[in-house]
Every structure is written in structure tokens, then in C-alpha cells.
Structure 1
Amino acid sequence: METLAPADPAADQPAVEEPQVCLPEHCFYAFDTLFCELTNKKPLVPKFPDEKYALFVTWNTRSSRPGRAPRLRGCIGNFEPMPLHEGIAEYALISAFRDTRFRKIEERELETLECEVSLLTDFEDAASYLDWTIGVHGIYISFPHPASAGSSEAPSPLSSSTSVPSLNAYRRTYTATYLPQIAPEQGWDKIETVDSAIRKAGWNGRITEDVRRSIKLRRYQSRKCSVSWEEYVQWRVASGGKM
């Protein structure tokens, strides 16, 4: 007689969905902060819980051509957890006006924008610069000036070159981060991502294995949400705000 394995009591149970951490309301609030700053309208009071998170606010410009990916317009955040009401409002404006890669966002651009909020979670110290997973983890790297770390790339202190770094340059710590979606979007592998982060941090010398191994890498995950300008307008009007 055939023996049947006991039924798994969990097999017929519906999968439990993780609670949504990042909400459209977070993006609406970021949009509302920028809209009201540019138009002198009265901002709406946020109604979502004022929990503490490290966060990033990203502005993208949507392409007028169908199928084209949006272009980055500004992205700045903070790795220190802060109350969401304060943090989203603050970084909505910082990323719109103070990202030095771009000129300030202007009122005439609002209709072309989309907003993305990323709440950062699950911070962990990595065992090495390769100890993270593409598409899952964001990375935050820090490393000393390679000369101060004893790299073979260090110039001789007896060098007559006028480009010898100052003592303060040797004491510098370089830092940079990439959110989890960046590596997949760019098609980078781990080493390409780390090397790009090294350049982003400001190191212009040769990237050697010594430089990579000097990195302290902290990995993290991101819960994100994005909304378009049209979605924001619908939300503001439905919430009693004036356009």
C-alpha cells in the first residue's frame, strides 16, 4: 500500500504579504512640499505616522518620448534616522535645490516630474567590499586616502612633484553610496559598482585592489514608492488643497 506523506498545514494558507513600509502618501507629501515652496500655496498636513527612517528623496524628469526611461533630476538623502514628517519635507527641497549635479528645479518643470521616496532599512556591516547582493542591497562605502592606508600608489615624501597631496588630504575619508536599484539599472557587476562609488566619492587616482580592500562597506535595503505629477495633483485636490 502506498504511504502518503502528511499534508503540510501551511501549504493551503495564503502567503502573508509584508506590510508596505513606503507609501504613496510619503511621495505626495514630498511633492506637496516642493509645489508649495515654488508657488507659495499652503501645504497640507501629513497624515501618515511620523516614524523614524533614514531616507532619500529622488526627483526624475519623465521623457516626452514613449518608452524612454526617466532622467535623474536630483537625489539626496540622510543615513541618520529622522522623523518622516521632517525628513521628507527637508530632503524634498534639498534634493530639488541643492544637488550640485543639477540646476535648481523650477516651477515650470513640475508637470514633467515624478517623485520617489526610499526608506532605508536592514543596515549591516559587510565582511568585504563584495559582501552584498545586486538588486537587493544598497552600499555605503568609506575608505581613507590610499596613501594613508599604505597603498603602493602613495607618492614618495621626497618627490619634487607639485601635485603631492597635503597632510590634510592624506587624512581625508572618502564616502559614497548607491541605492539598491542603481547597479541593476546601469547593468553593473559588483566591482563596477564599487569602482564607480570610489569615483563618486572623489578619488581620482588609480583604483587598485589595495584601494578596494581598504573599503569599509555597509549594506542596506530600501523600501521605495514613486508617484507622478498627475497622481499628486489628484491627491492634493481630493485632500482639499488648492492648485
Structure 2
Amino acid sequence: MPSVCPPSRPGGRLVSLFAAVAALFCLNASVCYFDAPIKLSQATESVPGKTDVFDVSLTSSAASGGEDGRQTERMAAKSSPTGETVIMPIDESSTAGGEIQDEGIYANAGDLAALLTPNRMLVDLQRLLEQMRSLSMGIRHRRHAMGASPGCKDVDVTTDFVRWAFDILISGLQNRAGEATRLPSGIVQMRRRGLRCPAFVTWYQRDPEVFNGSEDGYELRGCIGTLSAIPPETIGQYAWTAAQEDSRFPPVELDEVSALKGTVTVLHSFETARNYLDWILGMHGLAAEFDVNGKHYSGVFLPQVLLQFETKENSVVQLIRKAEYFGPISKELLDSMQLTRFQGTHISLSFPEYKEEYGVIGQASRVQKDKLMEKEAESLP
């Protein structure tokens, strides 16, 4: 019985052709994938045995240490249990010319012989590599879309922001996602002023074995955010995604909520640092990007996280390690880093505090409080 794939040269060339064509189609599919809506940046903390995927990083106090305002017309969107939409800029330039126009892909069978030459296959391979480099640069360009509205530094971040986060999480877990949750007065004012600010929502879970009422008694349970300027009502989306879509943890269950503490951080004042020490410990957070041997690395620490590293030198070392680079740290590496410094305002609220101050969403006492808060918000200028 003859072989299904005879080892003849024409057959081998045909297989190679189909492989090249398949690769080009896969590339085209990849370009389309990255040009499609992309999930918001995941703010990651150091978790033993886990690796972090993207440029927004956060290390918790319980662990070993814890996206300029440019806006493009195209936006990526992701719906949430709150019925709101997560908005993220999509850079058109990153896919310009990305459509592959190769007459060879659409050739007739009678034209195949013209495509079987080594030179033509080499040209196809070179085009493939060039397209992949272009795609990589496009992805990297998106990472640079950092920034905030000038007024973000004046936002009054209160515990009402975290109350909102608890409301969204509990409503979603109780399958009441269609139910409206009251916006914090701070979010209402941000909308009136047209502010777009980057933000993070972090969930910590109380460890019953070591909990003593201090920060040390909480462990990271999920954190997702963005360094890009986003509409204020979008911030609430992170309350759900941080609890349900942080790939390092299983989704938060309803019976875990009573042991949670939430933190909301609003960022502002993004500036390019002149060098790796051009920032103030206790004031700035850092976003770093650098390349080593052709590989790109990036990582971020929020302002409150850098405090635990005690010195700026140690903070930069930890940031480099957080970016998943574990090689030697030379003066050349430090000088080549693209470092962005920023500031932020954060506020935390535990579930017991949420319950006592606001009441749990859906309860009778809470409904009355919401009505009073709505009247107060209406009276604001």
C-alpha cells in the first residue's frame, strides 16, 4: 500500500508550501486577535509558584515585598455583571498595514509551481518575521498609554469607593447583576468634571490563623487595574474582575466576602523619571520597561507598595525582579530603563467596617441610607 505522504521532493515542497501558507494565516489571525478587545491590565502581586503576565504589577504587604492621557477613537470593551462597560484604548497604528496581501495565498492550483521555489519560500518567511516584529512593536506601544487627567490628583477618594466595590461584588455573587448600585459621590463629581483616571481595586482576605487586626493579618486575594485614563464609572468594574478574573486565584465565593478587605487606588501625576533614582519613596509609584538580550521586560509597583522596600535602591531591584528578570543588574541596565513615576491616593475598608458604616447591599437599613446619600449627592454643586 502506498504511503499517504510519499517522500518525494514535489510532495515535500507542497507540504512546506502549505505549512508556510498556514503560518501566514495564523499570523493574520494573531493580528486580528490582538486588534480585538483586550482584557484590562491585571495588577499582579508576588505569589509563590505563580508567574505574572503583563506590565501592571503589585506586590502585597503579606508577600515578599506586593496604562499620558492619549485617547484613540477605537476602544475595546468588556461587559461586567454590573452592566457597565470596561473601556480600554486601542492604538490603530499598531495594526496599520497588518492585513496580509499575498497573492500566493489565493493562487490557483496551476500556479503552485511558482510558489515552490526556495527563494519564494524565503521571501514568505522574511515577511512573516517582519509582520511578527510589527505586531510585537504594536503591543509594546499600547503599554505606553499611561496617564491621567490633571484633576485626578484632587479626587477625594473616600471609603464610599470601597463600599461601591463591595456592593458590585456582592450583587454579582448573588446573581443580582442587573441591579443598579449607587455611585459614590466622588465618582459623580469625577463625571461632572470630565476626569479620566487610572485606578486599581485590590481584595485582601483575612487569614484566621494570624489575624490580629493589623495589615499583616490579610493576604492578597485578587488585584486588577490599569495605568490608562478611563471613565470614572469604569473603576467599579475592577471590583468584579479583581475578585473573579485574577488568574492566580480561584474566583471569590459569596461565603468568603465577610473575610475580605477592599482597597481602591486612584492614580495621577505621571512623569518620566530622569534616572532610576529620580523619584521619592513614599510619594511615587514606578512603572519600568527595559530590554535584555532582545527580550522586553516591564513591571509596576504602586506608591504604597514601594514603602515596604525601605530604600530606593532596593525598590528598583525588587521592581526589576518583579518584571521577571533574574539576571545580573548592571549599571548599563539601570541606565537603559524607561522609568515612569506617578502618585496615587488609596483607601481601604474591611467587610465589618463596610457593614457597620453603610450596611450590606439589599438589606432594609441599607436602602434607607442609600436614599439619604442620593439626596446629598443631588445637592452637590
Residue 59 of structure 2 is matched in structure 1 by: none
Change over 3 Å in CA distance of 1:83–1:173 after alignment to 2: same
Q: Secondary structure at the match of 1:101?
A: coil
- Whole-angstrom CA distance in 2 between matches of 1:178 and 1:22: 20
Counterparts of 1:121-132 in structure 2 under 5 Å? 121-132=268-279
Q: Secondary structure at the match of 1:28?
A: helix
Residue 260 of structure 2 is matched in structure 1 by: 113
Please state how far the C-alpha of 1:43 moved relative to its aligned partner: 4.2
Q: Does residue 1:66 correspond to 2:212, yes or no?
A: yes
The one-letter code matched in structure 2 to 1:84 is P
- Whole-angstrom CA distance in 2 between matches of 1:57 and 1:45: 17
- Whole-angstrom CA distance in 2 between matches of 1:76 and 1:175: 16
Q: Secondary structure at the match of 2:344?
A: strand
Counterparts of 1:177-188 in structure 2 under 5 Å? 177-184=300-307, 186-188=308-310
The one-letter code matched in structure 2 to 1:58 is T
The TM-score, its normalising length taken from structure 1, stands at 0.74
Structure with greater strand percent: 1
Please state how far the C-alpha of 1:67 moved relative to its aligned partner: 4.5
Q: Does residue 1:30 correspond to 2:177, yes or no?
A: no
The TM-score, its normalising length taken from structure 2, stands at 0.48
Q: Does residue 1:198 correspond to 2:320, yes or no?
A: yes
- Whole-angstrom CA distance in 2 between matches of 1:202 and 1:31: 32
Question: 2:161, 2:184 within 8 Å by CA — same for their partners in 1?
Answer: no
Please state how far the C-alpha of 1:60 moved relative to its aligned partner: 1.1
Counterparts of 1:1-243 in structure 2 under 5 Å? 21-41=156-176, 42-48=179-185, 49=188, 50=191, 51-64=195-208, 65-68=211-214, 69=216, 70-86=218-234, 88-144=235-291, 146-147=292-293, 170=294, 172-184=295-307, 186-234=308-356, 235=358, 236=361, 237=363, 238-240=365-367
Runs of 5+ consecutive residues of structure 2 not aligned to the other structure:
1-152, 369-381
Change over 3 Å in CA distance of 1:218–1:19 after alignment to 2: closer
Change over 3 Å in CA distance of 1:194–1:103 after alignment to 2: farther
Residue 75 of structure 2 is matched in structure 1 by: none
Structure with greater helix percent: 2
Q: Secondary structure at the match of 2:333?
A: helix
Residue 123 of structure 2 is matched in structure 1 by: none
Change over 3 Å in CA distance of 1:100–1:190 after alignment to 2: farther
Please state how far the C-alpha of 1:223 moved relative to its aligned partner: 0.8
Please state how far the C-alpha of 1:239 moved relative to its aligned partner: 4.0
- Whole-angstrom CA distance in 2 between matches of 1:226 and 1:192: 26
Question: 2:282, 2:304 within 8 Å by CA — same for their partners in 1?
Answer: yes
- Whole-angstrom CA distance in 2 between matches of 1:44 and 1:201: 36
The one-letter code matched in structure 1 to 2:268 is T
Please state how far the C-alpha of 1:19 moved relative to its aligned partner: 5.9
Q: Percent identity?
A: 32
- Whole-angstrom CA distance in 2 between matches of 1:23 and 1:67: 21
Question: 1:27, 1:116 within 8 Å by CA — same for their partners in 2?
Answer: yes
Please state how far the C-alpha of 1:99 moved relative to its aligned partner: 2.3
- Whole-angstrom CA distance in 2 between matches of 1:233 and 1:119: 23
The one-letter code matched in structure 2 to 1:212 is L
User: Greater relative contact order: 1 or 2 (C-alpha under 8 angstroms, separation 6 or more)?
Assistant: 1
Structure with greater Cα Rg: 2
Change over 3 Å in CA distance of 1:108–1:196 after alignment to 2: same
Please state how far the C-alpha of 1:108 moved relative to its aligned partner: 1.6
Displaced runs of 4 or more, over 4 A: none
Change over 3 Å in CA distance of 1:38–1:117 after alignment to 2: same
Runs of 5+ consecutive residues of structure 1 not aligned to the other structure:
1-17, 148-169
